[in-house]
Amino acid sequence: MNLYERFLAQDMRALARAITLVESGYPEGQALLRQLRGRGHARVVGLTGSPGAGKSTLTDRLIEEARKRDERVAVLAVDPSSPFTGGAILGDRIRMMRHHQDKKVYIRSLASRGALGGLAGATVATLALLEAFGFDRIFVETVGVGQSEVDIARVADTTVLVLTPAAGDAVQAFKAGVMEIADVFVVNKFDLPGGERIVQELKTTLELAAPRPAGWKPPVLTAVAPKAEGVPEVFEVLEKHYQHLSEHHLLEADRLERARFEIESVIQEWGRRKTREGHDLIARVAHGDLTPEEAALQLLGVREGLRAG
C-alpha cells in the first residue's frame, strides 16, 4: 500500500511519516494533505502560559480524562527551535511518556522553526492530518512565550491560559493581551502561596474585559496537576465551552480563522526564505539606497503596478 492507503488504514507509522513530510515542506506531503484535508472533526484545545506553569503536566492529566471517555487523543507540543539544527526540544513528550503504550494516544513535538508568533504553519497542517486520522480531541501546547500566547487562539477552538501563583503571571497576562483571548483560566500549582490572590486578580480583571462571542464568560479554575486535583473540573469546562461554540454556530468561524492563520504563515515563510537570498538588496536598504518596501517588492517579485494594492 502507498502512504495514502496506509494512512486511511490507521497505520500510526504512516501518520508519523505524513507529518514529517508536511512539516518539512516536501511536495509529497502537500499532495497528501490536499487529499486528506477536510476529513474528520476534532475538538482542538490550546494550552498556553509562561514556561514552568505546568502546561505539560496539566495536558498529561487532561489526556487521562479524555481516555476515561474513550476518546482518541493527540497532542502537539510546539517547542522552540534549536538555532543550530532547527529541531524541537522533546521535554514535553518526556513528561507524557506514560501514555506511550496507549494506541489511542499520539504525542508529537513540532519545532516553531522561528515562525513569527512561535506557531509555524506546519502546526495547522498537522492538525488537519490528525483530524483526518480520526482523533476526537487534539491538545496543542505552545512554547508559552511572546506572541505565541495570542496566536494559539487563532488555531484552537478553546484556549486555556495556565498561570501560577507568586510568579507575576497575572500582571504579565494583562500586559500581553492574553486576557482578551483566553476562554478558560487555570491557576495551576494552587497549593503554592499566593493562589487565592491571583484568582481574585483574574476575576476582578475579567469583570472589566470586553464581552466574548455569544456571551461566554471565561471561568477561573484552580488545579494541582501532579495530584490531578481540579483536572476533572477543567475538562468539564472544556466540554461546556465547546458546547457553547456549537450552540451559537461559532465553530465554522474558528475553522476559517485557522485557515487564514495557515495562509499567513506560508506567506511569512516565503518572506523569510527570500530575505535569506537577497543579500544585495538588504545591503542597499542598509545603505539607504532602497526602502524596505521597495526591497520587499523586488524580493517577492511583485510588479510596481501592484504596489498600491
**Which three-class secondary structure string do you get for the chain?**
CCHHHHHHCCCHHHHHHHHHHHHCCCHHHHHHHHHHCCCCCCEEEEEECCCCCCHHHHHHHHHHHHHHCCCCEEEEEEECECCCCCCECCHHHHHCHHHCCCCCEEEEEEECCCCCCCCCHHHHHHHHHHHHHCCCEEEEECCCCCCHHHHHHHCCCEEEEEECCCCCHHHHHHHHCHHHCCCEEEECCCCCCCHHHHHHHHHHHHHHCCCCHHHCCCCEEECEHHHCECHHHHHHHHHHHHHHHHHCCCHHHHHHHHHHHHHHHHHHHHHHHHHHHCHHHHHHHHCCCCCHHHHHHHHCCCCHHHCCC
pTM score, whole prediction:
0.86
Residue 246 confidence (pLDDT): 96
Residue 179 confidence (pLDDT): 74
User: What is the residue whose three cell numbers read 472589566?
Assistant: 208
**Residue 159 pairs with which residues in a beta bridge?**
46
Residue 147 confidence (pLDDT): 60
Please list the pLDDT of the chain residue by residue as tens digits (309 residues): 899 999 999 999 999 999 999 888 889 999 999 999 988 899 999 998 888 888 989 999 999 999 999 999 999 988 655 443 444 444 455 556 677 778 899 999 887 654 444 466 788 889 999 999 999 999 999 876 556 667 788 889 999 999 888 665 555 555 556 677 889 999 999 999 988 988 998 888 888 777 888 889 999 999 999 999 999 999 999 999 999 999 999 999 988 998 898 888 888 878 888 888 888 999 999 999 999 999 988 888 865 544 444
Entry field: residues in the chain: 309
Residue 84 confidence (pLDDT): 39
